Amino acid sequence: MSARGRTIAAVCLRRAATAAWQARFGLRRGRAGREAAARQLRLACEELGPAFIKLGQLASVRPDVFPPEVVFELERLQDRVPAAPFAEVRAIVAAELGADPERVFASFDPDPVATASIAQVHAATLRDDARPVVGAPLAAGARLAVKVVRPGVEAAIAEDLAVARRWASRLARWPRLARWRPAALLREFEATLASELDLRHEGRKADRFAFDFADDPLVVVPRVVWRHTTRRVLTSEFVDGWRLSELGEAERAGIDARRLAAHGAEVFLRQVLVHGRFHADLHPANLFVTPDGRICYLDFGITGATAPDQRVAIAQVLAALVHGDADRALRYSRALGLEVPDERVEDVRKVVDGLVREHLIACEPTDVRGFALGFLGMLADFRIPIPEGYGLLVKALVTVEGVARAIYPDIDVVRTAGPFATRLVVAQLARPERLRERVPAALRAALRELVA
C-alpha cells in the first residue's frame, strides 16, 4: 500500500472508531447513531483533502443513494485551504492564456480573494473591451474574477481516486454496502469531477443560467470573458456583495431582505418548472446579495435537469404539499419514478400524511427540511428506491429553504411557492393537448353523475 493509501486508511479507521464511540457502539440507535457516523464522515473528507472533499460534495446531492443524515451533513463540508504560491498560479495562467497575467490583464492581484480545494480566485482588471455571450459588453478597466485550477490538483486527485477505487472494490464485497454500488457510484463521481476540473463547463452553464434569467432585474450572473477562459482558467466579471452570513449589514444598507428571499424561492421554481435546469449546489459561498439589491449566483459545477413531463408532475407535487394533500403528492410522485410496492402503499401514505401535518400544516412557518428528512428516512427504512432526479430535487428544495431563511428568517417557502406552482398547474392543464386528453374523461364522469 502506498504512503497516501496508508494515510487514507488511518484517517478512515480513526474516524470510524470515533463514530462508533459517539454512537455508544450501537446503543444509540436510529437517527442519533447515523448522525454521529455522518459527522465523522464529513470530518474525514475535510482532513483528506481535495478529492475527498469533492466526493463528499457530490454525495451530498445524492439522497437517492445515501441516508438523509449523511446527505445533509456533507453539505456542510468546509472547502477552504491555504493559497497556492503565486509563482505556480502565474505559471498556469501563462501556460493557459499564452502570456504572463500582467500582460494579459491590465492588473492582476497576486493575493487570492477566495481559495478552495480545486481552484482559487484572483482579482484582475480587463485590459481591452470584451463582449460576453450573454449581457452587455464589458469595458476596458472592468474588474474581473479569475478562477485558476490549483497547481498539482489533477495529479493529487488522480492518486486519491486510485486509492478510492481499491476501497470501493473491497466495500462491494460487504452485503450491507453492496446495495450502494460503490464501484459504479465512484465511476459516476469521477466523470463529474473530470467535468468540474474543466472550467469551460462551468462557464457554459453560467451563460445558460444568465440567458434563462436575462429578463429578471433581481438576478445577476457574472458575465464570462471567453477569450481569457480555458480548461484551467475561468475569467468572469467581478461582482461585489454580501454573503448570506453578512446580511445584517445589507439590511442596514436598505436591502429588502423579505422581497429577495421570496424572489429567490420563485427563481428556483422557474429553474425547475419552466427552464428545466437548476442550480443544485446553492449554499452561502455560491450566492450573495449585491449593493443594488439583487441576488448573484456563482459556481455552476453541480446542476440538475427536469424533462417537460416531469415538470408537470413536480408542480402537482408542490401544489399538493401546499394544500396538505398527501395522496395527491404520492400519486404524482409515481410519475417522477417513485415506485411504492403495493404492500407498502398504505404504510407510506400514513407516514407521509403524518409528515405533512407535522411539518407543513401544523408548523408555522412550514419546515421543508424536517419533512424531507422524515420522508427520505421513511423511504430508506422501507427500502424503497429513490429515483436520482427525485432525490436531488427534494434535496434542492431543502437547500432553497435554507438559503431563503438565511436572507429572511421568517419566510415560509412552501406558502411562497404555492401561488407559482398553482399557476403553472393551471397553465399546463389549459394547454390544448392536455385538454384533449382530459375532456373525454371529464364528460364520462359528468354523464355518470347525470344518470346516477
User: Which pLDDT tens digit goes with each residue over 316-332?
Assistant: 888 888 778 888 888 88
Please report which confidence band the pLDDT of residue 210 belongs to, taking 50, 70 and 90 as the band edges. very high
Closest CA to 84 of 118, 108, 58, 61: 118
Q: Mean pLDDT across the chain, nearest whole number? A: 84
Residue 207: pLDDT over 90: yes
What's the confidence (pLDDT) of residue 87? 95
Q: Which residues are catalytic?
A: 281
Residue 427 has pLDDT above 80, yes or no: no
More confident of the two residues 313 and 446: 313
* Residue 435 pLDDT: 47
Q: Which residue has the higher pLDDT, 260 or 396?
A: 260
Identify the CA nearest to 426 among candidates 312, 277, 261, 274. Answer: 312
**pTM, whole model, 2 decimals?**
0.82
Q: Which residue has the higher pLDDT, 419 or 275?
A: 275
DSSP codes joined into one string, 102-140: HHHSSEE-SS-SEE-SSEEEEEEE-SS-B--SSSSPBPT
Q: Are 335 and 320 in contact (CB under 8 A)?
A: no
Q: Which three cell numbers stand for residue 9?
A: 486508511
> Rounded mean pLDDT of 408-432?
73
Q: What is the pLDDT of residue 34?
A: 79
Cα angle for residues 62, 284, 214 (degrees, 5° grid)? 90
CA 344 from centroid of its chain's CA atoms? 30
Give the pLDDT mean for 342-364: 88
pLDDT at 433 over 60: no
Model pLDDT, residue 444: 54
pLDDT at 124 over 90: yes
Q: What was the pLDDT predicted at 30?
A: 63
Question: How far is it, in rounded angstroms, from Cα 226 to Cα 411?
Answer: 38
Within 8 A by CB and 6+ apart from 97, the residues are: 104, 228, 230, 233
Arithmetic mean of pLDDT, 68-77? 84
The rounded percent of the chain whose pLDDT value lies above 90 is 25
Report residue 375: phi and psi, to 5°.
-70, -50
- Helix (H) or strand (E) segment spanning residue 305: strand 303-305
What does the pLDDT read at residue 131?
A: 95
Mean pLDDT of 351-376: 86
pLDDT score for 434: 52
pLDDT at 278: 87
**pLDDT at residue 440, as a whole number:** 57
**pLDDT value for 96:** 97
What span, in angstroms and rounded, lies between the C-alpha atoms of 315 and 424?
A: 7
More confident residue, 57 or 436: 57
* Amino acid of residue 432: P
**pLDDT, tens only, 218-255:** 999 999 999 999 999 999 999 998 887 677 777 767 88
